[in-house]
Amino acid sequence: MLAGYARTESFAAAAKETFDPAKPCGICRAVCKAREASGRQGQAVPAAGGGKMVLIFERSAPFVALSAPRAWPAPTPARAQARSDDVPVPPPKPGVA
């Protein structure tokens, strides 16, 4: 109902029309009939001028997904190992002078 009224009126006027006890919606009428059928006392729709209706808006906490911290792999040496020995010389090939 609020969305329907808000198309043609301001939000404040649409909210006032939506919660006007003199103009119950189909759901309010169905609840009132169900209460009458069950024999419970009380009105589904408050009487006109029955006080203020307090609307509460509570923001939910933002959802933040965190992953497990990942460790970087250990660094590998960037240079080759130093040699202290002489480079081996291959044996001479037969037939080469």
21 is a domain residue: yes
pLDDT, position 94? 83
pTM for the full predicted model:
0.34
Find the domain containing 28 and state its range: 2-38
9 is a domain residue: yes
26 is a domain residue: yes
Considering its fold, how many domains does the chain have in total?
Answer: 1
Residue 24, judged by CB atoms within 10 A of its CB (0-12, 13-18, 19+), counts as: middle
69 is a domain residue: no
16 is a domain residue: yes
91 is a domain residue: no
6 is a domain residue: yes
50 is a domain residue: no
Q: How far apart (Å, rounded) are the C-alpha atoms in residues 14 and 92?
A: 103
Give the pLDDT confidence of 42-97 residue by residue, as tens digits: 555 555 555 677 777 778 888 888 887 788 888 877 777 777 788 788 888 887 66
Give the pLDDT confidence of 10-31 residue by residue, as tens digits: 888 888 888 888 888 888 888 8
